[in-house]
């Protein structure tokens, strides 16, 4: 994700949920690294370095990381409960 301006991009969470390695620009917040499978590069780094990092992930072993995602707070069931309680208790 060679981006100039992003907060916490949803695609970063989606990609990690699929157990894929991610390469982000260092303009992306480090909070985007939910699983520890993310690499942050400067936009001033060479295209060759970006390509090398991207290609390094092509043979990654995919595994079930649902527990890691849930512990990081990205569980739809738990978030739905929290959001429901928030709105029901809002005054």
Rounded (5°) CA angle 69-21-7: 65
Angstrom CA distances, 9 to 32, 79, 87, 89, stand at 7, 17, 25, 29
Residue 64 lies in a domain: yes
Q: Tell me the residue range of the domain where 15 lies.
A: 10-89
Q: How many domains does the chain have?
A: 1
Q: What is the pLDDT of residue 41?
A: 96
Q: What is the pLDDT of residue 55?
A: 93
Nearest in space to 17 (alpha carbons), one of 53, 79, 70, 80: 70
3-state secondary structure at position 51: helix
| pTM more than 0.75 | no
Residue 3 lies in a domain: no
Over the chain (91 residues), the average pLDDT of each successive run of 10 is: 66 84 89 90 95 88 84 87 91 69
């Amino acid at each position: 994700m060679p981006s100039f301006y992003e907060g916490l991009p949803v695609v970063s969470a989606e990609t990690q949920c699929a157990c894929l390695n991610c390469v982000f620009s260092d303009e992306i917040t480090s909070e985007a690294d939910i699983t520890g499978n993310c690499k942050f590069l400067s936009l001033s780094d060479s295209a060759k370095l970006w390509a090398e990092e991207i290609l390094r992930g092509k043979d990654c072993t995919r595994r079930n990381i649902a527990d890691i995602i849930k512990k990081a707070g990205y569980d739809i069931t738990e978030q739905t409960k929290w959001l429901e309680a928030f709105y029901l208790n809002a005054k």
